[in-house]
Amino acid sequence: MRLLRPLEPIQRLPALVAGCVIGGAILLAWSAVTYGGLARTDFLPEPHKVVTVLIKYTGSGQLLESIWVSSRVVLLGFFLSAILAIPAGLFMGSFRLIQAGFEPTINFIRYLPVTSMVPLLILWLGIGIEQKVAVIFIGTFFQQVIMVMDVVSQTPKDLAYASYTLGTSRWSAVFRVLLPYALPGICDAMRITMGWAWTYLVVAELVAANSGLGYMSLQAMRGFRVDIIFMAILVIGLLGMLSDMAFRLIRRRLLAWAE
């Protein structure tokens, strides 16, 4: 069967149907467990309760306000990180001396738990939006640098040598050869790390927050409102999926030559 061949591309309709089938199966299993009495509803809410809370909070405007606050934190932290990580990864991937100097330190820092840095960030930056943006930045920057470095370092040397033959300088080859070749991979790296930025949102809003989806989840936990927690989780997942789709669209439109 052609659809089950390894690495074989499929059309949009079969892909959509496959996604709907898997999503429907998960929803059906959730409904069977909750409505069938197989799990306590104070630990796993019924789907209709989550939908009811979603409608209520959307109608009151509280959900939209929380989405705006959280999206601002995530986007500021992510794009500030990307602006610095892309050139850093580009030069580390291009020049082995720069890579040898910075890679050990960056590898060490990127394995440090971000949650352990929250008290320090509060001491250094206070409890405003700066601290929350810093959490997203730290959670994504060092990962982005290593991913961009790996993508750039995989550029075939023959392309660089050919550019030297045509009179291109070494520094010019970085921007006219290595960067264009690595752009599709860099776009994919940004798409992946955007997902990490959304996962760090709750950590960023864990302390001294008064709005946002993470704050909403924390308040719901204190009141044992599992339906609100589920709603916040699903909304964060939806926002992450939309950002993923946006990166895929950007790659398809601006880097169509790489398909």
3-state class percentages of the chain: helix first, strand second, coil last, to nearest 5:
80, 0, 20
Asked if residues 251 and 187 have their Cβ atoms less than 8 Å apart, the reply is yes
pLDDT at residue 4 is higher than 90? no
The three state secondary structure string of 71-130 is: HHHHHHHHHHHHHHHHHHHHHHHHCHHHHHHHHHHHHHHHCCCHHHHHHHHHHHHCCCHH
Give first-to-last CA distance, the chain, whole Å.
Answer: 24
pTM for this entry: 0.89
Which residues touch 66 (CB under 8 Å, ≥6 apart)? 211, 212, 213, 215, 216, 232
Percent of the chain with pLDDT over 70: 98
pLDDT at residue 117 is higher than 80? yes
pLDDT at residue 1 is higher than 70? no
Residue-wise pLDDT for 200-236, tens only, equals: 988 888 776 777 888 888 888 888 889 999 999 999 9
Residue-wise pLDDT for 12-29, tens only, equals: 888 888 889 999 999 999
Q: Find, among 103, 104, 106, 133, the residue nearest to 118 by Cα.
A: 133
Q: Which amino acid is at 184?
A: P
Which of residues 139 and 172 earns the better pLDDT score?
A: 139
Mean per-residue pLDDT, 62-74 = 93
Asked if residues 140 and 201 have their Cβ atoms less than 8 Å apart, the reply is no
pLDDT of residue 26: 93
**Domain segments of the chain as ranges:** 46-258
Mean pLDDT of all residues belonging to the chain? 89
Which residue's entry shows tokens 């500030």? Answer: 80
Mean per-residue pLDDT, 51-64 = 93
Number of CB atoms found within 10 A of residue 40's CB: 10
Asked if residues 42 and 31 have their Cβ atoms less than 8 Å apart, the reply is no
Lowest mean pLDDT among 6-10, 45-49, 112-116, 250-254: 6-10
CATH 1.10.10.10 describes domain 46-258: no
Lowest mean pLDDT among 33-42, 55-64, 81-90, 237-246: 33-42
Mean per-residue pLDDT, 77-84 = 96
pLDDT at residue 119 is higher than 80? yes
pLDDT at residue 97 is higher than 90? yes
Task: Provide the 3-class DSSP secondary structure of residue 229.
Answer: helix
Band of residue 42 on the pLDDT scale cut at 50, 70, 90 = confident
pLDDT of residue 221: 83
Which of residues 101 and 220 earns the better pLDDT score?
A: 101
Asked if residues 77 and 166 have their Cβ atoms less than 8 Å apart, the reply is no
pLDDT of residue 259: 66
